[in-house]
Amino acid sequence: AGSGGGSGGGGPSLDFEASGGLSLDSGRHVSDTRPISRVGGGRGGVREVEMGSLGSNGGSSRGDGGDDDDGSNDTVELGLLHAVTKSTDAGTNESIPLDCGVSRSPTATAAAASHAAARPPRASVNLNMGGGECGWDRHTVTAAACYAALASVAIGYDEIFPVFAQTSRALGGLDLSAQDIGVVLICGGVALVVFQLTVFPVIIAHLGATRALRIFSLMFAAAVMVVPLASLPAVVSHDAARWAVVLTSQCVKIMVLAVLFTTVIMAVNNSCKNKVKGRVNGASTAAAAFGRIVSPIAHGVIFSWSLRLHVALHQFIVFGFVAACSLGVFLLVSMLPASLDSPPAEDDSDDAGADDKVIQTEEGAGESASAGDDKSGVGRPAGF
């Protein structure tokens, strides 16, 4: 493709109505005097016109007077004509059809129309159609509430356990030292690592996110009632029994919470579409942060109040409150549908709209660059 004209001699020529300026004569010369329209946003775009199969009925490949030796005019066949835009910045080639005003035969047009009509519609399988038009729905609110409630309950237990463990036996505590409490927490951390690497993948594969939430929220309510058993007179007087109860309670509790937090975050993200995931996670995290502020205060007040009660088993009151809150979490997670085990189906229209915006942006940048080239006169071949 260039700026040169066709061969002379008055030979037959074939003009194409493609915005004017493109002509093909029998001497196989292609002239294109049209200005280059920039397709992409990259600089240095060059449009080339490639010819597919060009042939003639005559025997000569180039006629002097435009006619073959047998005196018949050339019949030029346009095999393939397309424009190729090469971007020197991106390093890729993009083929763009070029409408040259060549009309199809009625038979070919009818065959193409019948083929398009016979094509079956594309079937789509949507396992999770949640999110609604705005990207989130009532299940998103429920999942975010579950995350905030679980964070509040978990931080309440974690804050009250060291206080209870260091309380004297006369007040119903375990009378453990700071070093002993550190050993309990370390053992829980080791158990968590082993559980996450071996057991957790199997649980998620068999139960799914929502079912695991329901089961393990009940398990957490039972696990928090194990540690006050170590303060019973028959257990606290034996160090081995006391340590066995405390370590078992801590390991079970931390593994249950690992499942709960992972699955509730999965439910939150699966309840909304990608375009609102940032806002949904921000709102749920803010609600959870507020719960983490209020919950330790509430649990501390209840624990202090229980110590002033001169009744038997008063140390079970605060842990009973934690278990009751865990049952509330169970009621919340029971409202989540099983479809939240998988991500929602994204709309093709949303992706198409985003692609259109990107294309429009690139076209605007390309037009700006073209205008700059016109003003400066730099980068335009002679004859264009």
Residue with tokens 């002679």: 382
Give this prediction's pTM: 0.58
d(CA 108, CA 94): 26
Read off the DSSP letter of residue 225.
Answer: T
pLDDT by residue for the chain (384 residues), tens digit each? 444 444 444 444 444 444 444 444 444 444 444 444 444 444 444 444 444 444 334 444 444 444 444 444 444 444 433 333 333 344 444 444 444 444 455 665 566 566 555 555 544 443 455 555 677 889 999 999 999 999 999 999 999 999 999 999 888 899 999 999 999 999 999 999 999 999 999 999 999 999 999 999 999 999 999 999 999 988 988 889 999 999 999 999 999 999 999 999 999 999 998 889 999 999 999 999 999 999 999 999 999 999 888 888 899 999 999 999 999 999 999 999 999 998 888 765 555 444 444 445 455 555 544 545 554 444 444 443
Q: What is the DSSP string of 79-129?
A: --EEEEEEPTTT--EEEEE---SPPPPHHHHHHHHHHHHHSPPPP---S--
CB neighbours of residue 371 within 10 Å? 11
The span from the CA of 133 to the CA of 3, in Å, is 53
Torsion of CA 300, 305, 306, 307, to 10 degrees: 90
DSSP β-bridge partners for residue 32:
22
Helix residue ranges per DSSP H, the chain: 106-118, 138-166, 178-198, 200-207, 209-223, 233-236, 239-270, 277-307, 316-333, 348-376
Residue 21 lies in a domain: no
Domain assignment present for 323: yes
What tens digit of pLDDT does each residue of 271-329 get? Answer: 998 889 999 999 999 999 999 999 999 999 999 999 888 888 899 999 999 999 999 99
Alpha-carbon gap, residue 75 to 66, rounded angstroms? 11
Q: Is 67 inside any structural domain?
A: no
292 domain-assigned: yes
Residue 45 included in any domain: no
* Lookup: tokens for 24: 């093909």
Determine contact, residues 290/148, Cβ cutoff 8 Å. Answer: yes
Lateral strand order in the sheet of 81-86: 46-51, 81-86, 93-97
Number of residues assigned to the chain: 384
CATH number for the domain spanning 244: value is 1.20.1250.20
d(CA 142, CA 340): 12
Residue 14 belongs to some domain of the structure: no
The dihedral through the CA atoms of 95, 99, 104, 110 has a sign that is: positive
What is the domain extent for residue 167? Answer: 147-337
Looking at the DSSP bridge assignments, the partners of residue 85 are 47, 94
CA distance 281 to 269: 8
- The pLDDT assigned to 110 comes to 64
Q: How many CB atoms lie within 10 A of CB 253?
A: 22
Query: Is 20 inside any structural domain?
Result: no
pLDDT of residue 95: 41
Q: Structurally, how many domains does the chain consist of?
A: 1
Q: CA-CA distances (angstroms) from residue 20 to 96, 99, 259, 280?
A: 18, 11, 68, 54
330: Cβ–Cβ under 8 A, 6 or more apart, which residues? 214, 217, 218, 221
User: In 116-143, which positions are buried (b, 16+ CB within 10 angstroms) versus exposed (e)?
Assistant: eeeeeeeeeeeebebbeeebbbebbebb
Question: Do residues 303 and 318 touch, judged by C-beta distance below 8 A?
Answer: yes
Segment 151-180, tens digit of pLDDT: 999 999 999 999 999 999 888 899 999 999
In a domain, 283, yes or no: yes
